[in-house]
A and B are shown apart, each in its own frame.
Chain A
Amino acid sequence: MKKFLVLMLALAMMLSLFTAASAQDDKWYLGIMVHGLENEFWAQEANGAILFAESKENVEYQVMVTDGDDNKENQAIRDFIAKHGQRAFFITDVASTANSVNFAEICEEAGVYFTMLWQHAEGLEPKDFKHFVAHMSPDDFVSGYNTAKYLFDLIGGKGKVCALYGVQGEDSAANRYAGFQAALKDYPEIEMVDMQVASWSQDQAMNFTQTWLAAHDDIAAIWAANDTMGLGAIEALKLEGKNGKVFVNGVDGIAAAFDSVAAGDMASTVANNGYLLMGYGAAYAYEAAVNGKTFDRPVIKTNAPLITAENVAEYKAMFIDGQPEYNFNDLAFPVLSDYESFEELKNK
């Protein structure tokens, strides 16, 4: 019976709260949507957005993770809107290409401004939505292409290559691999031995690499779709003493990868620079929401430098050991000047 009373109590509390109205305020609420925080790069993104939010005194923020799950994302943003109404605005690393449309529609319906990073669906254009402020991303395709190209040059344009794929069904995995394949077309003498799905997992990548090394003794390079898999491959190589001899790359630019590049184990990685992406993404959305700015070129490709032995030191200093300092009022800063060149490459 005691439980029963508790139940009654709870009911009473609820009823009393129906009447209670929440206080109106003049703050703006930034919803930061990232895939998760266990991954370093995603955390970097979130921190970028937080950097911005803290640079503005009338902005409060909340970080929400989607685990790359469309449902969770939609639920989360609706919850946030339910909480803050029109005074909410979003910066999102959208869970999947497909869901970008839902995201746009939900925000449009609720009249909430947002900037989108990375994926966006075919035919989803900021211009079609009043509240779709901008779309920013370093191009996964480009990253895949550049890293692959760099590897192939290192091995002199010929030899056996294996590839480690990300999680099946995730777009960044698919696009990066597409970039890799595009590069493959440019190098006819490169022999593609095998591709395996290591699901961003260091352990699996290590196992696959070991098996490859057992099956073929003359592998020249291993292309990995992200840093953790690259690191896994390198661990396998270390056991054979082949680290640094067989070239491996990564993408994302996590601390471990920077170290590995510095140590000469990893040939290259790409610094996607989450700070810049989300920091400025948030800045764009803020300008639109608060000051009603609109932007004539809302689809923005950002600068994602290829990290190699030469430039690793300076970038590590900026991204890992410290946090970059950005002037979030200079909205032109993040824009990458020449990205059209890649567009026809994709269509090719």
Chain B
Amino acid sequence: MRGFSMWKRDGDFSLNELFKRNSFILSAVLIIGVFSVINPKFLSLYSLQNMSLEIAPLLPMACGIGFVLYSGSIDLSIGAVASVACVIAGTYVTETGHWIILYMVLFGVVAGLINGSLIAVLKLPSFIVTLCAQSVWRAMAIIISKGSSNTIPIKQRWIVNWATDKFLDFPVILWISLALVILCLVIERKTELGKSIFAIGANEKAARLAGVHTIKIKILTFVLCSTGAAIGGIMYAYKLKSSVPTIGDNLYMMAISSVALGGTLFSGGSGSVLRTLIGVISVMAISSGMNMAGVNPLWKDVVFGCVLIAAVAINSEKGGRSLIIK
């Protein structure tokens, strides 16, 4: 039911099956194909570098929230968490040096712990908890940044330049977040945590009776998510070389839609990191592509919405009629 798992299937291999399972790649290929038809330079190195620069910070966020969605919950606070991380990192990196990264990751863990324990222990609906967490963290970001975005003083920008420097033609942060994706892939496929998350998402009652530590796992899920968000925030700070308190305001919907675009069902128990990866790439390809196609900005929302629906419709894992989609 997940990712490229088809190739590891023993015996029953069929091209059709393979296609059914991995059709989610199609949308990305189509999107990129179409845009490169409209403007060949869409696939020029420069433009790819540009896209990769945008993809990099979004990836960890999307992968993080992916896990929450697999477990059947939702987290609306990731954007705000990213904002806080971005603001603090952007403001203090000049003083603390790169230790700030560690601190911010820790911050992400804490934020996740708060969400997670409110949801798993106090049994509050994740939607509301994270919605409130969102407003709290947003306020935090505003307060710390004194209400406006600040750039790292021009003299000190060299400190963070390495993040956007090119390594093998692509910015360092891209490689970092690709590494993170692989890490997430391992968590998803190879660890008790990952497997339990899917079990909980599919049928929490049964998983619990089967001896899955539901509470622990749920908390960890949200920790994963917030940590991813924090890392994303840090990357933005390093990428933009500034602290932007509003950076996350649109990001959480971006992240969620890219997961959805990968075809993950929100009913829980299904999805995969690879799908998320494809989703993120597609989202960025769409927005870049529209710029390069010279789409009238007035039409952007409309186009994006339509493409989103179409892509999700193509990619959605067909859980069979029996599965209830909410």
Hey, which bits of chain A sit against chain B, CB under 8 A? 1, 3-4, 6-7, 10-11, 13-14, 17-18, 20-22, 36-37, 62-65, 67-72, 74-76, 78-83, 96-102, 121-124, 128, 167-171, 173-174
Contacts and interface: CB of A to CB of B under 8 A. Distances in A.
Nearest to B287: A75
Given A69-B246, A97-B148, 11 more contacts: A7-B29, A14-B32, A20-B40, A62-B294, A71-B236, A71-B247, A74-B54, A82-B44, A98-B151, A99-B149, A168-B142
A48 B32 CA distance: 34
Contact of B291 (A80, A102, A171): A80
A243 B287 CA distance: 45
Nearest to B161: A105
A174 B240 contact: no
A311 B314 CA distance: 58
Contact of A3 (B26, B155, B244, B287): B26
A179 to B, nearest CB: 14
A75 B288 contact: yes
B141 to A, nearest CB: 8
12 contacts: A1-B15, A14-B33, A18-B43, A22-B40, A36-B297, A67-B250, A82-B41, A82-B42, A97-B149, A98-B90, A98-B242, A102-B241
A87 B30 CA distance: 30
B16 A10 contact: no
B117 interface: no
B229 to A, nearest CB: 15
A170 B150 CA distance: 10
A6 B150 CA distance: 48
Contacts of B157: 101
B136 to A, nearest CB: 14
Contacts of B49: 78
A65 B247 CA distance: 16
Contacts, number: 163
B37 A13 contact: yes
B147 A124 contact: no
Most A CB contacts (10 A, CB to CB) among B26, B39, B46, B147 go to B147
B37 A3 contact: no
B240 A102 contact: yes
Nearest to A100: B151
B240 A37 contact: no
A24 to B, nearest CB: 13
Contacts of B287: 72, 75
A7 B54 contact: no
A78 B46 contact: yes
A76 B242 contact: no
Interface string B298-317: 10100000000000001000
A81 B47 CA distance: 9
B54 A75 contact: yes
Interface in B274-290: 284, 287-288
B236 A7 contact: no
B154 interface: yes
A101 B242 contact: yes
Q: When A and B form their complex, which 8 residue pairs have the shortest distance between CB atoms, in order from nearest?
A: A98-B242, A10-B33, A78-B50, A82-B47, A79-B291, A98-B151, A169-B245, A98-B149
A253 B26 CA distance: 48
A78 B243 CA distance: 21
Interface string B27-63: 0011011101101111110110111011000000000
Interface in B228-267: 236, 240-247, 250
A17 B246 contact: no
Contacts of A21: 40
Given A3-B26, A98-B151, A17 B288 contact: no
A1 to B, nearest CB: 7
Contacts of B292: 79-80, 82-83
Nearest to B16: A1
A65 B297 contact: yes
A70 B29 contact: no
B99 interface: no
B241 A124 contact: no
Interface string B187-218: 00000000000000000000000000000000
Given A3-B26, A82-B46, A101-B157, A64 B148 contact: no
Contacts of B40: 17-18, 20-22
A7 B26 contact: yes
A270 to B, nearest CB: 20
B134 to A, nearest CB: 14
Contacts of B50: 74-75, 78-79, 82
Contacts of A122: 151, 153
A102 B292 CA distance: 20
Contacts of B94: none
A79 B142 contact: no
Contacts of B26: 3, 6-7
A22 to B, nearest CB: 6
Nearest to A84: B41
B148 A171 contact: yes
Contacts of A82: 41-42, 44, 46-47, 50, 292
B151 A121 contact: yes
A161 B19 CA distance: 67
Contacts of B54: 71, 74-75
A39 B150 CA distance: 25
B47 A78 contact: yes
B151 A1 contact: no
